Amino acid sequence: MCASARELVAAARGQIRNLSVDDVAMWLETSAAVIVDIREPDEVGRDGAIPGAIHAARGLLEFWADPECPQHRPEFDNAKPIILYSASGSRSALAALALEALGYTDVGHLDGGLIAWREQGRPITRAFAAGTEASTRNPICRSMTTARSEGA
């Protein structure tokens, strides 16, 4: 029997650390947690991001997080807590499970995602932490961004 996407997300939420908006805000104020926005670049451009977040689109997350992979990014450090978020928390729940499978031991996700963050009046920014936006780090995204800006 095949599982639905909804069932996969529900199963993931049962196996990971689900953090509330207040939990994430506290982590950001009191620790060196790395907050990772896994939404697509167009979502980020349209809706903004949590201040201090780095961007790693969901499709690249495992490659950037795996220290054995040539695409590994130093922002992904197993010695630091990692907090993931997506728009509503579904993709970040699945992503948290994937990071745990890669050996990350201190992973959580923002339950309710950016929608919950915004609904509770938390700050939103239009800029990522320096040098971490996907369009500046990923040659595919960079070429797409360049094509758009040149009118292609």
CATH numbers and ranges of domains, the chain: 15-149 (3.40.250.10)
Residue 132 pLDDT > 90: no
pLDDT at 19 over 50: yes
Q: Is the pLDDT of residue 59 over 60?
A: yes
- Judged against a pLDDT cut of 80, whether residue 145 lies above it is answered with no
59, 70 in Cβ contact below 8 A? no
Band of pLDDT at residue 67, cut at 50, 70 and 90: very high
Across residues 11-26, what is the average pLDDT?
Answer: 93
Q: Answer for the pair 88, 113: CB distance below 8 angstroms, yes or no.
A: yes
Other CB atoms within a 10 A radius of the CB of residue 116 amount to 18
Rounded mean pLDDT, 2-6: 90
Angle at Cα 112 formed by Cα 98 and Cα 62, nearest 5°?
20
CA distance between the termini of the chain: 45
Coil, helix or strand at residue 148:
helix
Average pLDDT over residues 59-72: 94
Distance CA 44, CA 58 (A): 12
pLDDT band at 127, cuts 50/70/90? low
| Span 112-136, average pLDDT | 77
pLDDT value at residue 73: 94
Alpha-carbon dihedral of residues 38, 69, 99, 103, nearest 10 degrees?
Answer: -160
81-104 mean pLDDT: 95
Q: What is the pTM of this model?
A: 0.81
What burial class does residue 12 get, using C-beta atoms within 10 Å of its C-beta: 0-12 exposed, 13-18 middle, 19+ buried? buried
Question: What is the average pLDDT score of the chain?
Answer: 84
